[in-house]
Amino acid sequence: MDDTSTDNRTRTWFVCGNILAWIVPITLIVVFAYNSEGISEQKATGLGAIGMAEGLAIFGFVLAVALPLAAIVLLVKSFPGIGWICPLVSTLSIFVSVLTLTVTCQLLWFIFHSPSFARS
């Protein structure tokens, strides 16, 4: 295998990993910004006011876990990278992916362990 093929594969992993790492946070920011307009107009309170439930229902818990995991795998594979900027950007994107996973898992724990959650 020659170096050109390896460099192209590493670049592909790097680009795909960064796209996957930033999809979830950017989408959630857009959803929360959109929800905040409706909250101020309707003077809503409670979980509906936060917009977290609607935001994650739209995007889905599965994608909020699967995309950051896939991004971490791709970014770790591309970590040696080309030049000095690729490892720096990969590290930042891995941090964002881990942060996204942490927030999603904490939210899931809160939802399923809250006293108001209806148990059947």
- pLDDT tens sequence across 99-111: 988 988 888 788 7
**pLDDT tens-place string over residues 11-44:** 888 888 888 888 888 887 887 777 666 666 666 5
Q: Are 103 and 61 in contact (CB under 8 A)?
A: no
Where residue 83 falls among pLDDT bands split at 50, 70, 90? confident
Q: Is the residue at 103 inside a domain? A: yes
Residue 4 has pLDDT above 90, yes or no: no
Note whether residue 30 is domain-resident: yes
The reply to whether 45 falls in a domain is yes
Percent of the chain with pLDDT over 70: 69
Is residue 120 assigned to a domain?
no
Could you tell me if residue 29 is inside a domain?
Answer: yes
Residue 114 structure tokens: 């809250």
Flag whether 118 is in a domain: no
**What's the domain count of the chain?**
1
For 94, the domain range is 3-113
Sorting pLDDT into bands at 50, 70 and 90, what band is 95?
Answer: very high
Per DSSP, helices labelled H in the chain are 3-42, 47-50, 52-59, 61-77, 85-113
Residue 58's pLDDT is 59
Question: What is the pTM assigned to this prediction?
Answer: 0.67
Does the residue 97 lie in any domain? yes
Domain for residue 67, yes or no?
A: yes
Inter-CA distances, 12 with 1, 48, 71, 101, Å: 16, 40, 12, 23
* Pairwise CA distance, residues 44 & 77, whole Å: 45
